[in-house]
């Protein structure tokens, strides 16, 4: 974690997710995604405990899922915008696409395998975001103060 980003963020609105219908395919809800982002930022000491310097706004653009598959690949497309609390201007903007494959041999039950693939794609997306935020927090970069 870059020192300039320690205690810097709050997670703002998360949009684009859908609640899972128990009779249909697994989805990712806005609330669950927001909680996962907050936990991930907290684990990296990037979540603000007081007044944040930045707000992370999130749009789940798409969650591409197969109708049926043996090895289930889900691809998450997420647009992240970091807004400065000081001037309310966009300081960082990125869209991240991450696939994740849940193999049949690890989980033969289709609906559980799809849930695993969803979670894997979202976890990979959050990890990619953390990497990009850390890079943007380096001196001379958009978030490096």
* 73-102 residue pLDDT tens: 999 999 999 999 999 999 999 999 999 999
Domain ranges of the chain: 3-62+76-96+122-136
19 pLDDT tier (thresholds 50, 70, 90): low
Nearest CA among 86, 89, 1 for reference residue 41? 1
* CA–CA gap between residue 112 and residue 120 (Å, rounded): 12
Going from the C-alpha of 70 to that of each of 50, 63, 103, the distances in angstroms are 46, 18, 7
Of all helices (H) and strands (E), which one includes residue 62? strand 54-64
The proportion of the chain whose per-residue pLDDT surpasses 70, expressed as a percent, equals: 91
What is the structure's pLDDT at 145? 67
1 pLDDT tier (thresholds 50, 70, 90): low
115 phi/psi in degrees, rounded to 5: -60, -45
With a threshold of 0.75, does the pTM exceed it? Answer: yes
């Amino acid at each position: 974690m870059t020192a300039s980003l320690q205690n810097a963020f709050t997670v703002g609105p998360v949009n684009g997710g859908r609640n899972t219908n128990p009779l249909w395919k697994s989805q990712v809800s806005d609330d669950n995604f927001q909680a996962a982002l907050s936990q991930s930022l907290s684990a990296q000491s990037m979540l603000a405990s007081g007044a944040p310097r930045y707000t992370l706004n999130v749009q789940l653009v798409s969650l591409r899922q197969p109708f049926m598959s043996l090895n289930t690949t889900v691809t998450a497309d997420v647009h992240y915008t970091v807004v400065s609390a000081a001037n309310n201007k966009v300081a960082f903007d990125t869209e991240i696409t991450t696939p994740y494959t849940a193999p049949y041999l690890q989980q033969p039950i289709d609906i559980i395998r799809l849930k695993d693939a969803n979670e894997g794609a979202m976890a990979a997306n959050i990890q990619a975001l953390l990497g990009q935020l850390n890079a943007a927090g380096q001196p001379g970069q958009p978030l490096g103060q």
